[in-house]
Every structure is written in structure tokens, then in C-alpha cells.
């Protein structure tokens, strides 16, 4: 008789896979000395060659997205003959296109590969940034922002999906934190860069709010306005780095120019082993006891042989099910292609991502939690300008004061992502970060305009909690989506979280400037509270689904579990078939979509969602 696991037993089962997870991302203990050196050398090259360059790309992406807010403090719309409302309209148009095209951009990035797609797009949006210098009509500004939005739309999901190909699940959040933290770094760097430009290239007399022309520290402007210099510098930087990207970014680990032969092999192998550890997360107790509980997965003959044997077992099971070679080619991908390849997309990847319910729940939570980060990426210099009327800050000073809050956001993001990787949790750190964000928002709303020290401190706390939920949501998606193509599309759909930018452009209007943006802060506070409740409900839903799968698996024998783990077709019925097959029934459409009724990836009943 098969018993139902108790709560304590269930906890042991779900945690038992943790050693296997740790095996891939921590420093080897039991491997050979040479194997340990190879592992550290491979990871070090990824951390010091690939990750910094990707972070630089995202830094420039964030600068080109937010520099219009810095330019506005120097009188951009005034000098261009536009109104302040024109700026808000252009931002709303930017985010509308940027958000709507996220899945399409992610699909194209996956289809053509990060190494080609992103540098090409960056070159064009860098040129568009420079063209802001000649804007004199509202339609010109809107057109340029729409072009930049279209080109930038697929950058983040494509880059994150690409990054996840090279790092194991619990190496990923810290690296993603470093990558995503460039949003905060861009805010700080943009403020410092703007201060430097505005201090040395003040506008000609008649332009509002800049250093007086008689300032001894100013360099006389010869036809160039300060915001024109800002657009020129940032656009040129983007184009230069994009050109380097064509040669710097590898298409996969086994084509990386910075690896030698053994490093290329191990960079591929360690990702295979990490995926295998994820697939065995809910294996039977017998199999778990036979697997290494404490030893590290290191470059060794044993690891390679185990992987080869897994592939042989997989192929045997496929052939025993259907003696055709075509079926084996269709379902068996073990060692046939590079697991770190940056291109490749199927119809099934797209459709299975679109119909997954969890992504839509996360999307709503992500939109609500991202409003502060997207709003202050553009509007913080303007908020600083109205920090206190008594201060009468110049544009250069307000941009410089915007740097420390962004720095606080970057530091907090690193701390939280490191905690997330070490604890193997994503949702709990998200909830704590939203709590920190709520404290900052509450203090900002309650602090009087006259107490600018308290108000400035509140903004630092607010920014500290603003940048954490989005990257950890992405980390959860990458951890729980084994199929790279589907993962890229899910990240693209999650990119619709940038709708928060549309809402923030409509919230932080010039009409609220004199009141210190109190009303927008209150609405943002309510949105973050709703997001907190949504993430808490999502965590409870995952725990319930994991428990249901464990109860079902407890009634299966070892052979059935293994079949489900490898092929996803154990006990197929109308309720347990793959999601697309359940939606479209026995028509020809599921076959055209690549949905043969078999469960794949996280649909497999042996798959347990990490929290």
C-alpha cells in the first residue's frame, strides 16, 4: 500500500535535491586538483570576460533609455521649442512600443542569436540617440523615441536568456543582479555624467536653470548646448561598444574565443550536469540515495561517463517505446547540440510559453512592483530638483544628488541576489525587498517638504528596494524553465512588466511637480502593496502544486517515474497530457505545433518548482 507523505516527509523530499544543486555551482571539494582549477578558471573567465561586457551593454541600454530625463533638467524641451507635456507623451509612446514588442524582440533575439542581433540593434539606437540633437518638432521626438523603443525591446530578455545559458541555476541570481544592477548604476552614472557635462557646457544665455554664463569654472559654449553634448557622448559610446560586441560575444560556450579546448568542454558539460540535477530534483528515494549527496560535480571521467550513460538510457527508452529512428531523433537531444547555443526556436516553444498560466500571474505582480524603478530611472533628477524649494537646486546639483540613491539600489540588489543564490530561494527575498520598498515609499509620502534630509533618506531607502523584485522574478523563470526556447519567450512576455513605465509616465506629470509628487507616491505605494500580496499568493500556489505532484509520485513505481522524467508520457490521459495537446485535442494543429501530447520541461509531473 502506498502512503501519502506527511508534511515533514514532504519537506525532506523537496530539500533532498539541494546537494545536487550545490554540486554544480560551488567550489569542488572532492574532485581532482586539476579539475578544481579547471572549474574555477572557467567560471572566472565567464565572470571577468563575458559578464562585464554584457553588463556594459545593459548599462548603455539603460543610459540611452533614461538620458532624456537628464537632458530635460538642462532645458531640452525649452531649447527644442517643445512643451514639458510633449516629453511625457514621447515617454508614453516609448514605453508603449517598448512593452508591446518585448516578446517579438525576444523571439527574434533567440531566432538569430544574441551575438548578432543585439550589437546590430545597439548600433541603430545609438545613432537615434545622437539624432536627438536636431529635434525641433514633437513628431520628431516621438519618432526617435519609438525607434529606440523598437530596437531596445528585445534586448533585456535576449541578454538574460543568453546569460542563463552559461551559468548554473544557483550561480545565476548574483550574476543577474550584477547585470540588472546596471540600471541603478546607469542612474548614478547618468547623474554624475550630466553634472560633469552641465558644469562644463552650460547653455547660452537665455536657457533656463543652468550655471550663469559668467561662471569662472564654465567653458564657453560655442554653439553646443549641454544636453546636445550629453546625447552626443552617450550615443557615440553605444555605437562603439556595439561594434566591439560583434567580435566579443560568442554564439555558445564551445565557440567562445576566451576559452581553451578543455574549458570549452567543461563549460558545456557543467550546464548539462546542472540540468540533469534539476531533472532529478524529485527522483525516487532510491535514486537519491544512490546519487552523490555531498560531492561536487567537477570535471572528471566519472561525470562525463554518467552523462553519457544517461544519454544511452534515454535513447534505449525511446527505442523501446517506438522502434523508429525518427522518433529518437525527435525527442532525444542528449549531447546532440550545444546546450549553450544562443539561437534556436520552435513553434512549440512560443505557444507553450503563451498558454502558461504562471507567467501571467507573475506579469501582473512584476508590473506593479516595477513602477518605482521605471519611474525613478527617468524622473528622479526632476524629483530631486523639487526636493525642497528652500534649496533652489541647479540642474547640475539635482543630477549629482540623484547618484547616491541609485548607488543604494545597486548595493541592495547585490546583497539580496547573493542571499537568494545562497539560500536557493527567489520569492522570499522578493517579499522582503518589497517590504523595504514599502517602508521607503511610506516615509517619502509622510515626510514634509521642509524636512529635505528625511525626504532624501526616504528616497535612498525607496531605491534600495526598487531593483530587486524584477531580476529575481527573472531568476525564478530561468530556474524553472528547462527549455531554452520557451525560456526566452517567457522572459519576453515578462518584459511586458515594462508597462510600469507607461504608468509611471502618466503618474509623474508636471502638474504634480509643485507638490513634490505626493499623489504619484501614494498611488505607487498602493501598487506595491498589491504586488506584495500577489507574490505571496504565487508562493503559496507553488507549494500546493509541488505537494500535489509529490503525492501523485508517491503512488508510482520506479520505472514509471523514470519514464515520466525522460519522456513525459507516463499515464497520459485527457487531464495529464501536455498543455497544448489538452487545449487543441486530437486535431492536426497540435502536431504542427510540435505538441504530441507528451509533457515537457516543467509540465512533467516529476518536476518540482523551486521557490
Residue 16: helix, strand or coil by DSSP? Answer: coil
Confidence band, pLDDT 50/70/90 cuts, at residue 473: very high
If phi over 0 gives left and psi between -120 and 50 gives alpha, with beta otherwise, what is residue 223?
left
Residue 155: helix, strand or coil by DSSP? Answer: helix
**pLDDT digit string (tens) for 323-351?**
443 333 333 333 346 777 877 777 888 88
Q: Which of 45, 567, 35 is nearest to 304 (CA)?
A: 35
570 or 301, which is more confident? Answer: 570
Q: Which of 241, 190, 232, 191 is nearest to 56 (CA)?
A: 241
Kindly report the pTM of this predicted structure: 0.72
Residues 468-481 have a mean pLDDT of 90
Please tell me the distance from the alpha carbon of residue 166 to that of residue 143, in angstroms, as a whole number: 37
461 or 323, which is more confident? Answer: 461
Does residue 396 register a pLDDT over 80?
no
pLDDT at 419: 92
pLDDT at 521: 82
Q: Which of 329, 352, 581 is nearest to 482 (CA)?
A: 352
pLDDT at 516: 66
Domains 31-207+224-281 and 346-554 are alike in CATH topology: yes
Does residue 290 register a pLDDT over 60?
no
pLDDT at 386: 67
Report domain 346-554's class.
Answer: mainly alpha
pLDDT at 145: 93
108 or 445, which is more confident? Answer: 108
Does residue 293 register a pLDDT over 80?
no
**pLDDT digit string (tens) for 578-600?**
555 555 555 555 555 555 567 77
Summary mean pLDDT of the chain:
77
Please tell me the distance from the alpha carbon of residue 130 to that of residue 383, in angstroms, as a whole number: 26
Please tell me the distance from the alpha carbon of residue 204 to that of residue 208, in angstroms, as a whole number: 9
Does residue 48 register a pLDDT over 90?
yes
pLDDT at 329: 33
Does residue 63 register a pLDDT over 90?
no
Residue 599: helix, strand or coil by DSSP? Answer: coil
**pLDDT digit string (tens) for 494-523?**
888 878 877 877 787 777 767 767 788 888
The residues spanned by each domain of the chain are 31-207+224-281, 346-554, 556-610
Contacts of 313 (CB under 8 A, 6+ apart): 566
Residues 45-53 have a mean pLDDT of 93
Please tell me the distance from the alpha carbon of residue 480 to that of residue 541, in angstroms, as a whole number: 15
Cα–Cα–Cα angle for 57, 227, 120, rounded to 5 degrees: 30
Instruction: Using alpha carbons, list the distances in angstroms from residue 198 to 60, 76, 238, 283, 389.
Output: 19, 12, 20, 61, 21
Count CB neighbours of 136 within 10 A: 10
Q: Is 588 exposed, middle or buried (0-12, 13-18, 19+ CB in 10 A)?
A: exposed
Contacts of 583 (CB under 8 A, 6+ apart): 355
Does residue 14 register a pLDDT over 60?
no
Which DSSP symbol is given to 194? Answer: H
Please give the biggest Cα pair distance in the chain: 91
Residues 56-67 have a mean pLDDT of 84
Give kind and range of the element (H or E) at residue 528.
helix 518-553
204 or 139, which is more confident? Answer: 139
What percent of the chain shows pLDDT beyond 90?
A: 25
Q: Which of 186, 184, 178, 191 is nearest to 403 (CA)?
A: 191
219 or 91, which is more confident? Answer: 91
Residue 531: helix, strand or coil by DSSP? Answer: helix
199 or 359, which is more confident? Answer: 359
Does residue 415 register a pLDDT over 50?
yes
Q: Which grid cell sits at 280? A: 532529478
Quickly tell me which residue has 514509471 as its cell.
Answer: 560
pLDDT at 279: 65
Please tell me the distance from the alpha carbon of residue 262 to that of residue 245, in angstroms, as a whole number: 24
The fold of the 31-207+224-281 domain, in CATH, is Growth Hormone; Chain: A; (1.20.1250)
Please tell me the distance from the alpha carbon of residue 98 to that of residue 354, in angstroms, as a whole number: 19
pLDDT at 308: 45
Amino acid at each position: 500500500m502506498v502512503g501519502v507523505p506527511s508534511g515533514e516527509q514532504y519537506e525532506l523530499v523537496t530539500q533532498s535535491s539541494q546537494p545536487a544543486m550545490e554540486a554544480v555551482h560551488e567550489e569542488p571539494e572532492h574532485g581532482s586538483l586539476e579539475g578544481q582549477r579547471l572549474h574555477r578558471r572557467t567560471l572566472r573567465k565567464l565572470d571577468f570576460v563575458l559578464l562585464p561586457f554584457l553588463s556594459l551593454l545593459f548599462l548603455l541600454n539603460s543610459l540611452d533609455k533614461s538620458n532624456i530625463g537628464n537632458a530635460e533638467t538642462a532645458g531640452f524641451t525649452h531649447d527644442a521649442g517643445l512643451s514639458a507635456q510633449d516629453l511625457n507623451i514621447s515617454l508614453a509612446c516609448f514605453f508603449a512600443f517598448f512593452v508591446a514588442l518585448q516578446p517579438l524582440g525576444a523571439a527574434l533575439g533567440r531566432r538569430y542569436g544574441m551575438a548578432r542581433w543585439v550589437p546590430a540593434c545597439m548600433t541603430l539606437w545609438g545613432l537615434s540617440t545622437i539624432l536627438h540633437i536636431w529635434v525641433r518638432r514633437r513628431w520628431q521626438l516621438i519618432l526617435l523615441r519609438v525607434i529606440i523603443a523598437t530596437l531596445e525591446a528585445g534586448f533585456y530578455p535576449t541578454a538574460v536568456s543568453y546569460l542563463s545559458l552559461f551559468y548554473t541555476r544557483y550561480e545565476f541570481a548574483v550574476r543577474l543582479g550584477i547585470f540588472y544592477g546596471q540600471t541603478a548604476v546607469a542612474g548614478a552614472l547618468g547623474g554624475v555624467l550630466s553634472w560633469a557635462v552641465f558644469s562644463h557646457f552650460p547653455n547660452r544665455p537665455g536657457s533656463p536653470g543652468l550655471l550663469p554664463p559668467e561662471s569662472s569654472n564654465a567653458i564657453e559654449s560655442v554653439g553646443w548646448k549641454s544636453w546636445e553634448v550629453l546625447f552626443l557622448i552617450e550615443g557615440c559610446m553605444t555605437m562603439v561598444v556595439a561594434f566591439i560586441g560583434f567580435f566579443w560575444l560568442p554564439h555558445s560556450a564551445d565557440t567562445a574565443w576566451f576559452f581553451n579546448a578543455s574549458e570549452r568542454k567543461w563549460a558545456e558539460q557543467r550546464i548539462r550536469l546542472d540540468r540533469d540535477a534539476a531533472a532529478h530534483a524529485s527522483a525516487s528515494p532510491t535514486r537519491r540515495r544512490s546519487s552523490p549527496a555531498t560531492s561536487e560535480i567537477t570535471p572528471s571521467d566519472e561525470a562525463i561517463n554518467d552523462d553519457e550513460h544517461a544519454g544511452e538510457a534515454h535513447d534505449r527508452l525511446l527505442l523501446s517505446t517506438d522502434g523508429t529512428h525518427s522518433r529518437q531523433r525527435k525527442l532525444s537531444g542528449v549531447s546532440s547540440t550545444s546546450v549553450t547555443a544562443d539561437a534556436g526556436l520552435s513553434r512549440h516553444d512560443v505557444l507553450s510559453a503563451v498558454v502558461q498560466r504562471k507567467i501571467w500571474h507573475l506579469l501582473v505582480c512584476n508590473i506593479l512592483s516595477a513602477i518605482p524603478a521605471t519611474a525613478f530611472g527617468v524622473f528622479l533628477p526632476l524629483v530631486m530638483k523639487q526636493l525642497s524649494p528652500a534649496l533652489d537646486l541647479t540642474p547640475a546639483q539635482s543630477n549629482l544628488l540623484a547618484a547616491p540613491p541609485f548607488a543604494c539600489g545597486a548595493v541592495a540588489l547585490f546583497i539580496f541576489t547573493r542571499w537568494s543564490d545562497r539560500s536557493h530561494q527567489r520569492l522570499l527575498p522578493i517579499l522582503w525587498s518589497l517590504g523595504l520598498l514599502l517602508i521607503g515609499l511610506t516615509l517619502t509620502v509622510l515626510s514634509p517638504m521642509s524636512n529635505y534630509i528625511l525626504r532624501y533618506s526616504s528616497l535612498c531607502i525607496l531605491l534600495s528596494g526598487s531593483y530587486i523584485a524584477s531580476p529575481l522574478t527573472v531568476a525564478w523563470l530561468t530556474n524553472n524553465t528547462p527549455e531554452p526556447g520557451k525560456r526566452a519567450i517567457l522572459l519576453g512576455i515578462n518584459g511586458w512588466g515594462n508597462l510600469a513605465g507607461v504608468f509611471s509616465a502618466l503618474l509623474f506629470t508636471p502638474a504634480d511637480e509643485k507638490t513634490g509628487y505626493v499623489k504619484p507616491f501614494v498611488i505607487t505605494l498602493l501598487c506595491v502593496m498589491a504586488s506584495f500580496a500577489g507574490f505571496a499568493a504565487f508562493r503559496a500556489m507553488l507549494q500546493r502544486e509541488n505537494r500535489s505532484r509529490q503525492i501523485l509520485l508517491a503512488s508510482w513505481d520506479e520505472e514509471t517515474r523514470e519514464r515520466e522524467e525522460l519522456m513525459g508520457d507516463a499515464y497520459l490521459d485527457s487531464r495529464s497530457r501536455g498543455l497544448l495537446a489538452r487545449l487543441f485535442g486530437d486535431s492536426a494543429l497540435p502536431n504542427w505545433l510540435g505538441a504530441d501530447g507528451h509533457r515537457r520541461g516543467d509540465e512533467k509531473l516529476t518536476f518540482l518548482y523551486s521557490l
